[in-house]
Structure 1
Amino acid sequence: MKINPLKGMKDYLPDEMRLRDYVQGKILEVYRASGFERIATPMLEDMENLDKSEGGDNLNLIFKVLKRGEKLNAALASGDEKSLSDMGLRYDLTLPLSRYYAANRASLPTPFKVIQTDRVFRAERPQKGRMREFVQCDIDILGDDSINAEIELIDVTARALLAIGFTDFTVNINDRRMLRAMLTAMGFAPETLDSVCVTFDKLDKIGPDGVKAELAEKEYPAAAIEALDSFLRAGDFSIERVASFLEDKTLPDSLLSIINTVKALSDGRYGIAYAPSLVRGQGYYTGVVFEITCAAFSGAVAGGGRYDGMIGKFLGQQVPAVGFSIGFERICGILLEQGYKAPVAEKLALLYRSDVPFAEVLQKAARLRGEYAVTVLPQQKKLGKQLGALEGAGFSAVAFFDNEEIKVLGQKAE
Structure 2
Amino acid sequence: MATQVNPPRGMRDFLPAEKRVRERVLRVIRQAYEHHGFEEIETPVVEDAARLHAGLGGDNEKLAFAVMRRGLTTDDLRAAEAPLDLADLGLRFDLTVPLARFIASHRASLPPVFRAIQIAPVWRAERPQRGRFRQFMQCDIDIAGEPGIAAELEVLAATGDALTRLGIPDAFIRINDRRILLAALEHAGVPADQHDGALITVDKLDKLGREGVSDELGTRGLDGGRLLETLDAISDLVADRPEVADAAAPEPGATPLEGFDVALLEPVRELLAANVGIRLEFDATLVRGMGYYTGPIFEIAHPELPFSIGGGGRYDGMVGRFLGQELPAVGISLGFERLVDLVSLPEEQGGETVALLLDKSVEPSEALAIKRELVAAGQTVRMQRRTKNVTGLLEQLAASGATHFAFVRPGDTAAALEIKPIA
TM-score normalised by structure 2 residue count: 0.85
Report the 3-state secondary structure (helix = DSSP H, G, I; strand = E; otherwise coil) of the residue aligned with 1:69. coil
Q: Check 1:65–1:395 CA distance in 2 against 1; reply closer, same or farther (3 A cut).
A: closer
Q: How does 1:91-130 map to 2 (within 5 A)?
A: 91-130=93-132
Q: Pick closer, same or farther for the CA change 1:213–1:254 going to 2, 3 Å.
A: same
Q: CA deviation at 1:378?
A: 4.5
Offset of 1:73 from its aligned partner? Answer: 4.0
Amino acid aligned to 1:364:
L
How far apart, in 1, do the equivalents of 2:332 and 2:91 lie? Answer: 21
Contact 1:43/1:120 (CA < 8 Å) preserved in 2? yes
Q: Which amino acid aligns with 1:321?
A: A
Q: 1:375 is matched with which residue?
A: 382
Aligned to 1:407: 420
Cα deviation for residue 191 of structure 1 reads 2.5
| Mapping for residues 172-183 of structure 1, pairs under 5 Å | 172-183=174-185
The residue aligned with 2:273 is 260
> Match for residue 397 of structure 1?
404
Tell me which amino acid in the other structure corresponds to 1:148.
A
1:332-371 map, 5 Å: 332-335=340-343, 342-343=347-348, 345=350, 347-351=353-357, 354=362, 356=366, 358-367=368-377, 369=379
Q: Once the 2 structures are TM-superposed, how far is the Cα of residue 200 of structure 1 from its aligned partner?
A: 1.5
The Cα of 1:128 is off from its aligned counterpart by 1.7
| 1:381 to partner: Cα distance | 6.4
Letter of the aligned partner of 2:79 in structure 1? S
Match of 1:44 among 43, 46, 50: 46
Kindly indicate whether the alpha-carbon contact (under 8 Å) linking 2:234 and 2:257 is maintained by their aligned counterparts in 1: no
Partner of 1:281: 289
| Separation of aligned partners in 1, 2:371 and 2:335 | 43
Unmatched 5+ stretches in structure 1 = none
Deviation at 1:206, TM superposition (A): 1.8
Percent identity reads 39
Cross-structure match for 1:297: 305
In structure 1, distance between residues paired with 2:179 and 2:371 = 66
Give CA-to-partner distance per residue, 1:265-322, whole Å, 9 cap, x none: 32xxx31110111110111111110011111222111100011111121123211011
Q: Give 2:162's aligned residue.
A: 160
Q: CA deviation at 1:244?
A: 4.5
Give the AA of the match of 1:217: T
Question: What is the rounded CA distance, in whole Å, between the counterparts of 1:248 and 1:231 in structure 2?
Answer: 12
CA distance in 2: counterparts of 1:301 and 1:323, whole angstroms: 15
Matching residue of 2:321: 313
Report the aligned-residue RMSD. 2.6
Q: Cα deviations across residues 330-352 of structure 1 (Å, max 9, x unaligned)?
A: 112344xx7x6653535432445
**C-alpha displacement of 1:385:** 5.4
- 3-state SS, counterpart of residue 309 of structure 2: strand
Give 2:273's aligned amino acid. N
Contact kept? 1:208, 1:232, Cα under 8 Å: no
Does the CA contact (< 8 Å) of 1:350 and 1:365 recur in 2? Answer: no
Partner of 1:15: 17
Residue correspondences, number: 395
How far has the Cα of 1:248 moved from its partner? 4.0
Q: CA deviation at 1:247?
A: 4.9
Structure 1 residues 88, 295: CA separation in 2 closer, same or farther (over 3 Å shift)?
A: same
3-state SS of paired residue (2:155): helix
Give 1:219 shift: 1.5
The more displaced of 351-360 and 172-181 is: 351-360
Moved more, 149-158 or 353-362: 353-362
Q: Which residue of 2 aligns with 1:272?
A: 280
Match in the other structure for 1:138: 140
Equivalence for 1:26: 28
The answer to whether the Cα contact below 8 Å between 1:19 and 1:341 also exists between their aligned partners in 2 is no
Shift of 1:5: 1.3
Distance (Å, rounded) in 1 between the aligned partners of 2:235 and 2:102: 43
One-letter amino acid of the counterpart of residue 343, structure 1: E
TM-score (norm 1): 0.87
Query: Structure 1: how far apart are the matches of 2:163 and 2:235?
Result: 30
Residues 181 and 246 of structure 1 are in contact (CA less than 8 Å); yes or no, is this contact kept in structure 2?
A: no
Q: Deviations over 1:124-160 (max 9, x none)?
A: 1112211111111101001111000001000001111
User: 1:226 maps to what in 2?
Assistant: 225
Deviations 1:138-189 (A, max 9, x none): 0100111100000100000111111111111111100010121122112222
- Secondary structure of 2:284's match? coil
Say if 2:38 and 2:115, in contact at 8 Å, map to a contact too: yes
